[in-house]
Chains A and B, each alone.
Chain A
Amino acid sequence: METVAVKVEELAVNYGSFVAVENLSFNVKEGEIYGLLGPNGAGKTTTIKVLVGILEPRAGKVEVYGTPVSDEVPAKSQVGYVPEEVILLDSLTPREFFEFVTSIRRLKKENVNPKLERFTSAFELKQYFDTPIAALSMGNKQKVAIIAALLHDPKLLILDEPLVGLDARSSKILKELITFHAKKGGAVIFSTHIMEVAEKLCTRVGIINKGKIVEEGTVEDLRKLVRSAEGSLEDIFLKVTEQEAGMQDVIKALEEE
C-alpha cells in the first residue's frame, strides 16, 4: 500500500476578510512529484505556506506523513522547503547560514559535511561560501536555499518556484535531484509557472484557481478531460482556469497598438 505523504482536506485560509484558499483538498503519495499549478494569486503559495507551517489555516486538515502540521516540530522536521521569495539571513555567509540551519535541525557534522561538499560542488557555490548572502546574486541565494532544504534528507520536498533565477546547469541538476528524490521514495510538491517543466517532471498535477483545486491528475488524465489529445499542459491549464476565452482578443488588442 502506498503511503500518503501529504494529506490536505478542505483547507481554508483567509487574509483578514480576503479568502485566499477555500475548500481545497489533495493528497500526495510517496514517490510522487506533485505539480501545483495556477495563475498568479490562485492560492499556490498560500497552500504551500500552510504545509510548511508558516501560515495557520482557518479550517481544514493538513498532515505531513500522518503528522498534523499543527504539531510543529515533528512536521517541520520532515520537510525541506525552498520559498518563492528567497529572503535568508542576508548578513550571514552561506557557511554561517548552513551552520545555523543544521544546528536547528540537530544534524551531525559527520553526516552533513560530505553532503554539503557534494551540493556546493554541484551548484558551484563553493567560491561564495564565505561571502555574505546580501552580496550574492538572486540565483546564488536560490542555490543556498535549495542546499539548506536538502541537507537533512527530508522525506518531503516543497519547492515554490525553485527554478526562478537558476542558470541552465543548476536548473538541470535540481530537476535531476527532484526526480532522484522521488525515485528513492520521497515526495515532492512543486509549484511552477513553467508548464513545460511541470509536464516533464511531475507525476501528477493539481490546478488551483481562485483558491480551489479545479482539476487534478496526470497530464494524460487532464488531456482526456479537456478533450484535447495534442494539447500541451499550457493549453489545458488555460482551459481549466478559464483564461483561454477572450485571450485572442486581448492579444489582438495589444498588437493593434
Chain B
Amino acid sequence: MKFSELWRLSSTVYKEVSFQSIFSLRAGSSLPGSAKRDIKRLVANAKINTLISKLITTIFIGIFAGIIFLPLTMNITGHTMPRQTIILAGVSAFLAVVLFLIVFMGLQVSTSFVSSKIVDVLTPLPLSKQDVSRIVFLCFIRIFDIPLIAAPAIFLAVYVLIGGPAIGAITSLLGIITAEIFALTLTTILARFFYLKVTRAGGRSKWQTLLRFAFMLVWILPTFAAYFVVNFAPQIVQSFASLTQGFSSFSQILVLIYPFSFGFLASSSAFPGQTDYTLLGLSITASVAYAILAYYCVGWVTQTIRKLGISAMGSGPREMVMDTFIQPQTPWLGIIRKDLRVASRAPSYATLFFLPVIQTAVLAVSFSSFSALDLTTALGILTGMSMITLLLPPTLSSIEGLASAYMRHLPMRKITFISAKTLLSIFTYVLSLIVLSIVAFSMGKSSTLILAYGAVHGFSVAAAVMLELTIVTRKFWKEGFAVGNLYSRLTTYILIVIPGYVLAAIPIISAFLALLFAPSYVLPLFLAAALTEFTLMTLVIMHQK
C-alpha cells in the first residue's frame, strides 16, 4: 500500500485513539446524556486535548533550547567557556532532554494507545499484516508529530541564532533524529512493561501491591522531573560541561556514551582544528553504532506497537487463587480503597495523589534561599500547597466515571461520596505538610510555623474540598461523573476549582490583614476563619441526601 494511503488511514485511527483517551478509558465508554447531543464538540475537544499535550512538550523543548544555548553563549551566567565546550555540552544536554521529554509525553499517552485496541478494528479489514503494523506505527508517530518535527527545527533556529557552524548543525541533526528514535523505543519498552506489570497485573498479595506502587512511582517521577529539567537547565548544561572538560582517559569512555558521542562529534565537526583525533575516532564509531541501533529500533518499535495495539501481551503472571474471601468495609472506606486501587493501576490518577506531595518538595527546595521561615513565607507556601491539593477533588470524582453507568445504579449517598473524597484529598494535604516539615527540618529551619498554620489551614482546605465536591455532585450526580462531563469544557473545571480557591484563601488573607493591622490577632483570626468555614461546610454536606 502507498505511504500516502497508509498515512491517511493512520489519521482516522489516530482520531479514534484521541477520542478513546477521554471517553473510553476514562468515561467507561459511557457518554453522558448531554454528550450524545453534542458529539462533534466532544470529538473536537478530544483533539484539542492531545494537541495541548504535544504543544506543552514542544514548548518545554523550546524553553530548554533557549535557556541552555543563549545565556551560555552570551555569558549571561557569568561562566566563560570555550565555544567548543558549549556546543559539546549543549548538544549533549539537548539530546538528553529531547529524549527525556518525548519519553515523558509518551508515558502519558501510551496507556490510552494500548487500551484503544485499534488493531482489533483494523485486522478484519483486507489489509496485510505489514500494512496494519505500518498504520499502527504511523498512528503512534502522530501522537508525537509536533515535538518530533519541532525538536530539530527549534535546535536549528537556536543554533543559527548563536552562530554555530553549519557542519556542527548537520551532525547535531543526526543526533536529534537518533534521540527521537530512542525516545520512541524507550516509550514502547516502558509502555509494554507497564502494561504487563501494572495495568494487567492482578494478584492479591501485599508484595504485588507494593511492587505495583513502586512501578507506578517510577512511571510518575519523570512527570515531575520535566519541571526540574526546565527549571535547572543552566545547571544541567554546566554539569554536562564539567563532565566533558579536560581530555582525560575518562573522556575516552564518555565519548562512547550516548548522547556525548553525538555532542563531541558536533563539537569536533564545528571546530576541526582543536580536535583530539583519538576521541574523534571513538565518537564517530560510537555515533555510527548508535545510528545503526536506531535503525533496528524502528523495526522493533513497529512490531511491538502492533502487538500493543491488539493487547497481544496477555496478562501478567497470575497468582494461584486460594480463596474467594472478601472484606467489605463501611461505604466511605470502600470508596477510598477502590480509588487507591484504581490509582495504583492508572498513571493519570496516581499522578494526582503524588502531585501535591512532590510539588511541595519542589517548593521546599526554595527554603535554601530564605534565612528563616517567617510567617509570610509559611503562608505563601501553604497557599501554593492548598492550591495544588484543591485540583484533586474534581479529578477524584471522575474516578466514579470509569464505569459511569454501572456506578450510578449503586445505592451510594452523596454524603458518603463527599466524605470519602474529602478524606482522600486531606490525606494528600497532610502528607504534603509532613514532607514540607521534613524538608524544612533537614535544612535546619524551624518548621513550627508551617506545622501550626498548616494544621489549622487543613480545616479550611477540607472546607474548600467539600465545597468543590458539593458543586461537582450538584452538577453531575444525575448525569454521572464521566470525564467527558468534567473536562470537555475547561470552564466547567475552572468554575468548580475557583470557589474552592476562594474559600482556602480567606484565612490566609485574614492572616495577612491581621499581620498588617493587628499582629497579635493573626493566629486567632486564622483559626476562627478556618474553623468557621469547616463547620459551615460540614453542615452543608450533612444535609445532602
Contact = CB atoms under 8 A, between A and B. Distances in A.
Nearest to A93: B202
B327 A132 contact: no
Contacts of B403: 87-90
Interface in A47-81: 49, 52-56, 72-74, 76-77, 79, 81
Contact of A91 (B325, B334, B345): B345
Interface stretch (B25-33, B64-72, B258-266, B486-494): B25-33
B354 to A, nearest CB: 17
Contact of B334 (A103, A128, A131): A103
Interface in A87-131: 87-93, 95-96, 98-109, 112-113, 116-117, 120, 126-131
Interface in B375-413: 402-403, 405-406, 408-413
Most chain B beta-carbon contacts within 10 A, residue among A85, A98, A107, A129: A129
Contacts of A103: 328-331, 333-335, 337-338
B200 interface: yes
Nearest to A149: B409
Interface string B263-293: 0000000000000000000000000000000
Contacts of B405: 49, 54, 83, 85, 87
A116 B402 contact: no
A95 B199 contact: no
A132 B319 CA distance: 12
Given A129-B321, A131-B315, A89 B338 contact: yes
B324 interface: yes
A79 to B, nearest CB: 7
A104 B202 contact: no
A92 B36 CA distance: 28
Interface in B325-373: 325-331, 333-335, 337-338, 341-342, 345-346
Contacts of B524: none
23 contacts: A54-B405, A55-B33, A73-B412, A83-B406, A87-B29, A87-B403, A88-B406, A92-B342, A93-B203, A95-B204, A95-B324, A99-B334, A102-B328, A103-B335, A103-B337, A103-B338, A105-B410, A107-B328, A109-B328, A113-B326, A131-B318, A132-B201, A134-B200
A104 B331 contact: yes
Nearest to A111: B328
Contacts of B333: 103
Given A85-B29, A89-B406, A95-B204, 7 more contacts: A53-B409, A76-B410, A91-B402, A102-B326, A106-B328, A126-B324, A131-B315
B545 interface: yes
Shortest beta-carbon contacts, A-B, top 10: A103-B334, A76-B411, A102-B328, A91-B345, A52-B409, A131-B202, A100-B338, A135-B315, A16-B37, A73-B411
A15 B33 CA distance: 7
B40 interface: no
A106 B402 CA distance: 22
A104 B334 contact: yes
Q: Chain B contact residues (Cβ within 8 angstroms of A): what range?
A: 35 or more
A94 to B, nearest CB: 9
A104 B411 contact: yes
Contact of A81 (B29, B37, B409, B480): B409
Nearest to B314: A135
A96 B338 contact: yes
Given A77-B411, A104-B334, A106-B331, A72 B326 contact: no
Given A72-B545, A95-B324, A96-B341, A90 B402 contact: yes
Nearest to A49: B405
A85 B403 CA distance: 10
A95 B37 CA distance: 37
B543 interface: no
Interface string B471-495: 0000000101000000000000000
B112 to A, nearest CB: 13
Contacts of A16: 33, 36-37
A132 B115 CA distance: 14
A44 B433 CA distance: 52
A76 B409 contact: yes
Interface in B1-54: 28-30, 33, 36-37
A130 B319 contact: yes
Contacts of A53: 408-409
Given A103-B333, A132-B199, A134-B199, A73 B36 contact: no
